[in-house]
Amino acid sequence: MPELPEAEKARRTLERLCVGLRIAAVEDADTWVCRPHQPGELDEALRGSIVTAACRHGKFLWLETDNGHELGLHLGMGGSIRAAPEVAPRGWDRVALVFEDESRVALRDKRRLSRAHLGAGIDHLGPDALTITPKAFRERVGTGRAPIKARLLDQAALAGVGNLLADEALFDAQVDPRRPAGSLSPAELDQLRSSLRFAMREALKPKGGSGRGRFARARRGAQCPRCGCALERATIGGRTTWWCPDEQVAEPVA
């Protein structure tokens, strides 16, 4: 599933392909992806406006326009943003913007799990994982009895972290994903934030991705890339979780 780095790469694509252009038409016939809007509603709101900014918060994207309307977008499980001069087969272009210069940009999604709607739709989200301050990270992530892995995945606490990034950061910070979030010391939380930011920066590189980090690659062989021991696996926070029983400590560190 796309996580923050994939959403940020999509935002950069939107910025490159859309900002500064006037919308001639919106193809919005997919009533599931564009729910609760009916066909033509997005087109009516956005037609004739100029895209002024491409924005992101967590995994959520939106385009701002000069008429005050926002087009909110979410990639879902496998959506992508792409220049699409030709219409994709089987209705895979779930929504598309056609501009006055005749260019066309589509949200393409074979699985139909993406979303497009008016408004940014980010009121329910916590601070963005890429820009959160150390103080805010300690306050939002380092509280409660829920496992720290589940806390990292809570989008109301911290926006943008998915399963792969969480495992990568916890491994780098040497923290057991089962530990209660409130048991982490300030120093451990600061290290976890640094590890998470490092994982995101690596994933944002041209050939990077949330599933291409050192730990994500090691999971395929179920062997720790640091000490070589067998990795352990369990379901935490509703997601399959991997960790190294020797490298990731289960007790607080002063």
Instruction: Write the pLDDT tens digit of every residue in 19-37.
Output: 999 999 999 999 999 999 9
Cβ neighbours of residue 178 closer than 8 Å, sequence gap 6 or more: 147, 148, 149, 234, 236, 243, 250
60 beta partners: 57, 74
In the chain, the percentage of residues whose pLDDT exceeds 70 is 98
Q: Which residues are catalytic?
A: 2-3, 59, 239
Let me know if residue 128 belongs to a domain.
no
Q: How far apart are CA 243 and CA 178, in angstroms?
A: 10
pLDDT at 186 over 90: yes
Let me know if residue 249 belongs to a domain.
no
Instruction: Say whether both 82 and 143 belong to one domain.
Output: no
pLDDT at 253 over 60: no
pLDDT at 218 over 70: yes
The maximal CA–CA distance of the chain, rounded, in angstroms, is 61
> Could you tell me if 72 and 58 are in contact, meaning their C-beta atoms sit under 8 angstroms apart?
no
**DSSP character string of 90-127:** GG-EEEEEEETTS-EEEEE-TT---EEEES---TT--S
Let me know if residue 187 belongs to a domain.
yes
Instruction: Say whether both 111 and 148 belong to one domain.
Output: no
Q: Using the CB atoms, write b or e for 73-87: b if 16+ within 10 Å.
A: bbbbeebbbbebeee
pLDDT of residue 112: 94
Average pLDDT over residues 104-116: 96
Q: How many domains does the chain have?
A: 2
Residue range(s) defining the domain that contains residue 72: 4-118
Could you tell me the pLDDT band of residue 219, with boundaries at 50, 70 and 90? confident
Q: Which two tokens stand for residue 26?
A: 């919106």
Instruction: Say whether both 192 and 219 belong to one domain.
Output: yes
Q: What is this structure's pTM?
A: 0.92
- Taking only the tens place, the pLDDT of each residue in 112-156 is 999 999 999 999 999 999 999 999 999 999 999 999 999 999 999
